[in-house]
Amino acid sequence: MVFEILKAVFLGALPVMVFTFIILQWSIQSGRIQAFDGETSLQKQYRKQIQAQKIARKSAKKEADKQPQSIAEKISATKSTPLFSKQRGGDIFHGKIMSFGGGFYGTMAVMTYALIELIEIWQFLAKIFGPGSWFENIGIGMLVDFIINSVMNFVAAFIWFKTLADYLPVGNGWIWLGAAYLGYMSALKLVTHYGDVIREKLSEILPETSD
């Protein structure tokens, strides 16, 4: 039991805490969310943004139905939008968390999705550049499988509480779930009370290391 708790803390709680802290602090600094004083306050912001996105999509669809664009006009509008603008791409992690509903569940789903994608990309590259198989394994079928797997990974992220057991040495699921939530809440506390302090310290250190 003690060993299981230690595993859950070091492989579960700590990674969740670090990931959550980085994403939330990044979102606050970029203006995507406002500073919050707890989980309830943060979740209210997520719900408000999700509702606003739904209304915006409905309004855009109505406008598109009223004034249908030709293919050439759509391409022209896409080209006129900067590649890395918020309107076009937005913050990848914040947007993904929103798509999963935000909060603890959304954060864990995105973290799970990122973990699976990184592992599969590594395996994909290892297969391509493996010894004696330089570009021999590349084919349409392999690329199609890669795309299908990406879609399936999105589905797997929805059931992260089951999926993570395939990638981590989970013994007691309840202990790991509790550890993950503890890591998430610890990150919220860090962001609430020490986020600005940590950011200022890092901003002082990073320029010095880059010289």
Is 52 a domain residue?
Answer: no
* Residue of 36 and 70 predicted with greater confidence: 36
CA distance 58 to 78: 19
Q: Do the Cβ atoms of 20 and 107 come closer than 8 Å?
A: yes
- What letter would DSSP give residue 11? I
Is 65 a domain residue?
Answer: no
Is 85 a domain residue?
Answer: no
Question: Average pLDDT, whole number, for the chain?
Answer: 79
Q: Which amino acid is at 15?
A: P
What lies within 8 Å, CB to CB, of 15 at 6+ separation is 111, 183
* Mean pLDDT calculated for residue range 173-198: 90
CA distance 34 to 37: 10
Q: Cβ atoms within 10 A of the Cβ of 44, count?
A: 13
Is 55 a domain residue?
Answer: no
The number of distinct structural domains making up the chain is: 1
Is 56 a domain residue?
Answer: no
Q: How far is CA 91 from the centre of its chain?
A: 9
Q: State the pLDDT confidence band at 34, using cuts at 50, 70 and 90.
A: confident
Is 69 a domain residue?
Answer: no
Is 63 a domain residue?
Answer: no
* Residue of 206 and 170 predicted with greater confidence: 170
Candidates 208, 21, 206, 8; CA nearest to 107 is: 21
Q: Which of 51-65, 67-81, 124-138, 168-182 has the lowest mean pLDDT?
A: 67-81
* Mean pLDDT calculated for residue range 134-142: 61
Query: What confidence score (pLDDT) does residue 147 get?
Result: 79
Q: State the pLDDT confidence band at 9, using cuts at 50, 70 and 90.
A: very high
* Residue of 174 and 88 predicted with greater confidence: 174
Q: What is the largest CA-CA distance in the chain?
A: 64
Range of the domain at 161: 2-35+97-210
Is 189 a domain residue?
Answer: yes
CA distance 165 to 176: 10
Using one digit for the tens of pLDDT, what is the confidence trace for 72-96? 555 555 444 443 334 433 467 787 8
